[in-house]
Amino acid sequence: MGKSNIHIFAHSKDLKQHLGILLKGRGRIFVLADSNTAEHCLPLIQDMLPLDGKDTMLMAVEAGEEGKNLQGAMDLYNQLIDYGADRNSLLINLGGGMVCDLGGFVASTYKRGIDFIHLPTTVLAQVDASIGGKTGVNLGLLKNMVGTFTQAQETLIYPEFLNTLPKNEVMSGFAEILKHALIADQELWKILSSADYVDLPLIKSVIPRALKIKEDIVNRDFKEQGERKKLNFGHTIGHALESLILESPERDLLHGEAVALGMICECYLSMKSKGISNDELDRICSFIALHFKGIELNRMQFHRVIEIMRHDKKNKQARINFTLLHGIGASIVDQEPEMEHIMEALGYLERYPFPS
């Protein structure tokens, strides 16, 4: 059930050949894209899909989290019905985390499940969202509150898509690569932290290594009973910050940017529980502050962040559950720090001079 099936394609002709075999003999084919990927990514693969015929149908959604909810899912169900999708149909998710999560959820529940494949187009989706079979939609401001564990039939990684991304999207995905290094791969941390520049060529070069970290963990613990929770490092506070900003008029914090800030706070908690030293804390946080933007929180917002965290899916019995580091490249799940330390961790964000 939980076995992943990931292929990486350096050249378009290899992707084309693979898709040709994969799509042969399927019923109708549906491509889910958002307004960005329909414009920038679809043209890169248009000649690989039988988009000219009656058997392929493009479904486009607005880019951004706003449409990732049950109403958005319902719109897609209705399009699938209108265009005659049956159990032999296939959905191709061409996009970032939002498209993969939403499309995966719709495919896994439409008529109790049709096959889907991911063609992730962002760094974040290539190393994280498209790997591991988590699908989901938001409920109000609560992220991925409704979803399933369902593996894509295949995930096809085509790094050429990344050339279409703005820099902040690239760096948002880089946060997840950094997370993978911190929780499980000290060598990867060394590569990243000693690089002269964090740029697209560096990121492309480490994608296979970074996604393998997630793939291995997921294959050992598909339903997140234990080890998979390691991947939540930075996400308990990160998700809450993301929800908080969604409530504000600016709404300009990307998922990875929120996770980067979450990692600063959760590194602080790791130091408090003696998982990492003060020196390690400082090295990691300085590196993050160099590459990501900060936010300013007031005291009232601290309390709102705590309140949001109390609804986190990962909690049991109303305690707030964290994954923390015990060393760089090693992590420990199911930690429940003192509330006082959580408040300090949020305050610790002010310590770093982020670029503005």
Q: Which residues are at the interface with a copy of itself (CB under 8 A)?
A: 1, 27, 70, 73-74, 77-78, 81, 84, 86-88, 108-113, 134-136, 139-140, 142, 144-149, 223, 311, 313-318
- CB contact at 8 A, 281 and 344: no
Closer by beta carbon to a copy of itself, 131 or else 210: 131
Closer by beta carbon to a copy of itself, 78 or else 186: 78
Dig out the tokens for 178 from the structure.
């950094």
Tell me 154's DSSP state. Answer: E
Please, what is the end-to-end C-alpha distance for the chain in angstroms?
45
Question: CB atoms < 10 A from the CB of 319, how many?
Answer: 11
Closer by beta carbon to a copy of itself, 105 or else 174: 105
Dist CA 90 CA 112 (whole Å):
13
To a copy of itself, the closest distance from the beta carbon of 106 in angstroms equals 9
Question: CB atoms < 10 A from the CB of 193, how many?
Answer: 16
Strand pairing category for 115-120 and 154-157: parallel
Dist CA 166 CA 187 (whole Å):
28
Closer by beta carbon to a copy of itself, 300 or else 318: 318
**Residue 119 backbone dihedrals phi, psi, to 5 degrees:** -120, 80
To a copy of itself, the closest distance from the beta carbon of 135 in angstroms equals 8
To a copy of itself, the closest distance from the beta carbon of 226 in angstroms equals 13
Dig out the tokens for 312 from the structure.
């986190």
- CB contact at 8 A, 25 and 58: no
- What is the C-alpha R_g of the chain? 20
To a copy of itself, the closest distance from the beta carbon of 316 in angstroms equals 5
**Most distant CA pair in the chain: distance in Å?**
61
Asked whether the CA dihedral 174, 179, 182, 188 is positive or negative, the reply is: negative
Closer by beta carbon to a copy of itself, 110 or else 233: 110
Closer by beta carbon to a copy of itself, 32 or else 73: 73
Dist CA 30 CA 45 (whole Å):
14
Closer by beta carbon to a copy of itself, 1 or else 21: 1
Closer by beta carbon to a copy of itself, 153 or else 164: 153
Dig out the tokens for 265 from the structure.
């706070």
Dig out the tokens for 141 from the structure.
């401001």
Closer by beta carbon to a copy of itself, 79 or else 164: 79
Dist CA 118 CA 161 (whole Å):
13
Closest CA to 35 of 62, 55, 67: 62
To a copy of itself, the closest distance from the beta carbon of 141 in angstroms equals 11
To a copy of itself, the closest distance from the beta carbon of 310 in angstroms equals 8
To a copy of itself, the closest distance from the beta carbon of 149 in angstroms equals 6
To a copy of itself, the closest distance from the beta carbon of 20 in angstroms equals 21
- CB contact at 8 A, 267 and 281: yes
- CB contact at 8 A, 70 and 134: no
To a copy of itself, the closest distance from the beta carbon of 224 in angstroms equals 8
